[in-house]
Structure 1
Amino acid sequence: MLFGKLLPREGNFFAMFDEHGKHIAEGARAFQNLVQSYADPVLREKYANEVDHFEKQADRVTAEVNRLLHKTFITPLDREQIHGLINAMDDILDLLQDSAEVMALYDLQKMNEDVLRLAEISAKCCERVQHAVSLLPKLSQPAVAEAALKTCEEIDRLESDADRVMRSAMSKLFRDNIDVRELIKLKAVYEHLESISDRCEDVANMIEGIVLENS
């Protein structure tokens, strides 16, 4: 079934997916900057506020997509696919915001290489999500469909990288002699950061399904 024959009479879901994807990538970059600049309280607050801003912007897009679902007679994808995809995308920014809040609430004093690496992987995953989502309107073109599947595979590989980094980080936590309170803090941060790539993989799996069903 060609996507060009299924464009909605009302609303532009693909444009809203693309807008949300941009907020995800921007929020992830702000979060990575937060982690990299964590030693500077002024920059830390600046980037934390940016993460909050992009999360709120994405929430507005999500609400608009769900509202239009009730008003649009013809949609470019199955309604459940639209609802599932936009909410899975929203989960990514929610986790970015949650991760920033956990660092502040737990009064984490400094970043280590594992946190920096997980934040870097998260940002790369989010950028690939944005790219995959941007390809949705043209999936009827075989080359574009193939590019979308390749991008989803890249997200899967990044998620596997995040798993490996977290397992190694957890091993060091329980192997090294560190303060128990610091262990609890870092364990929570690692788990939140690894969950970001998990949610990106969820989006990738949904996009793969859309490609296979509609190309």
Structure 2
Amino acid sequence: MRFRLRPTETVFYDFFSQAADNLVKGADILGELSLPTPDFQSISDRLKEIEHANDEVTHELLRKLNSTFVTPFDREDIYRLGSLLDDVMDHMEGAGNLVYLYGLSQLPNLPREMHELIETLSRAAQLTASAMPRLQSLKDLESYWIEANRIENEGDHAYRMLLVRLFSGEYDALTVMKLKEVADELEAAADAFEHVANTVETIAVKES
């Protein structure tokens, strides 16, 4: 039997769960872009609020990390997981903000493939939020990182199809540039979700 001399304090796990719950909220707000008449400014403003709230969670986690002598698992893994969860929110907020700032509400519709990419983010957020509470026990996590990888692959496909749409000649050059910046932020969020899952897998392997 392997004996653990690690503390039972749960505060770090609480921080991870709070951050993941914020990602669900952010993905839900971003998903409003698919509504028949989305309020682009409201979506951008609320994403900014969630992003600020998530920044505070990350800062609290880092303050706790810097003041804790013995941590529940490797210090660098705690830092990396917290930072990656924050990265996801930053990219989602960036996408929503650019849609508003670039005036893309003037388009008849955002590309269908962009909505498909946003939908993969919503599923990744739900999956991540459901996995974080299991991090403390390190049980039943393998299915999480396998599914996270599968969703990321779907996101990659949606991103590639979105690029095909953007460069099809349907849009003028300036609009293509604007839409591609939004698409790149969404794709970066999808990648960051997978990086979160990879970090959880690393932690599970180390601590098993």
Q: TM-score, normalised by structure 2?
A: 0.91
Counterpart for residue 198 of structure 1: 191
Alpha carbons 1:36, 1:116 under 8 Å: kept: yes
Alpha carbons 2:12, 2:61 under 8 Å: kept: yes
- How many residues align structurally? 205
Counterpart for residue 50 of structure 1: 46
**Which range moves more in the overlay, 86-95 or 110-119?**
110-119
Counterpart for residue 132 of structure 1: 131
- The AA in structure 2 aligned to 1:72 is T
Counterpart for residue 73 of structure 1: 69
Give structure 1 stretches of 5+ with no counterpart: none
Counterpart of 2:104 in 1: which secondary structure?
Answer: coil
Change in 2 beyond 3 A, CA 1:62/1:13: same
Counterpart for residue 172 of structure 1: 165
Q: 2:156 aligns with which of 153, 163, 166?
A: 163
Shift of 1:40: 3.6
Counterpart for residue 60 of structure 2: 64
Using the alignment, how far apart are the partners of 2:173 and 2:157 within structure 1?
23
Counterpart for residue 207 of structure 1: 200
Change in 2 beyond 3 A, CA 1:117/1:4: farther
Q: 1:97 aligns with which of 93, 100, 120?
A: 93
Using the alignment, how far apart are the partners of 2:188 and 2:93 within structure 1?
12
Using the alignment, how far apart are the partners of 1:184 and 1:3 within structure 2?
56
CA RMSD of aligned residues (A): 2.0
Residues 1:188 and 2:188 aligned together? no
Once the two structures are superposed, the pairs formed by residues 5-20 of structure 1 within 5 Å of their partners are 5-7=5-7, 12-20=11-19
Alpha carbons 2:148, 2:197 under 8 Å: kept: yes
Alpha carbons 1:48, 1:100 under 8 Å: kept: yes
Alpha carbons 2:20, 2:85 under 8 Å: kept: yes
Q: TM-score, normalised by structure 1?
A: 0.88
Shift of 1:2: 6.8
Counterpart of 2:182 in 1: which secondary structure?
Answer: helix
Shift of 1:4: 7.0
Counterpart of 1:6 in 2: which secondary structure?
Answer: coil
Identity rate of aligned residues, in percent? 27
- The AA in structure 2 aligned to 1:76 is P
